[in-house]
Amino acid sequence: MLPGIINDRFFAIFEKKGENGPIHEKSFVDGLSKVYLSCLTDKMKMTFEMFDFDNDGYVSKEDARILLSYVPFKGNKNPISGNAFTLDSSN
């Protein structure tokens, strides 16, 4: 399920203000340029934007919870309570 949320977040940060619906060609090309051609600082800013789900300028506990809710876990252990954080490699 994680690639789906990554797709949604890329869409959200590629989409320019005022655009509703599909991403326009310029926004798409600009977004991909950030991913592949930008400096490390710009890539870090974009990564931050991806994890800031509520766009408040902070990555909060709730933002982290949302992201972690999409990570598949192996077994019955709850990673939030301090138990093992094991990704299921079978997916």
pTM of the prediction? 0.59
**45 within a domain of the structure (yes/no):** yes
**Residue range(s) defining the domain that contains residue 25:** 2-81
Residue 78: pLDDT band with limits 50, 70, 90: low
**86 within a domain of the structure (yes/no):** no
**20 within a domain of the structure (yes/no):** yes
**47 within a domain of the structure (yes/no):** yes
For residue range 28-60, list pLDDT tens digits in order. 888 888 889 999 999 999 889 888 888 899 999
Number of domains in the chain: 1
**90 within a domain of the structure (yes/no):** no
Residue 75: pLDDT band with limits 50, 70, 90: low
Rounded to the nearest 10°, the torsion over CA 13, 18, 22, 24 is -80
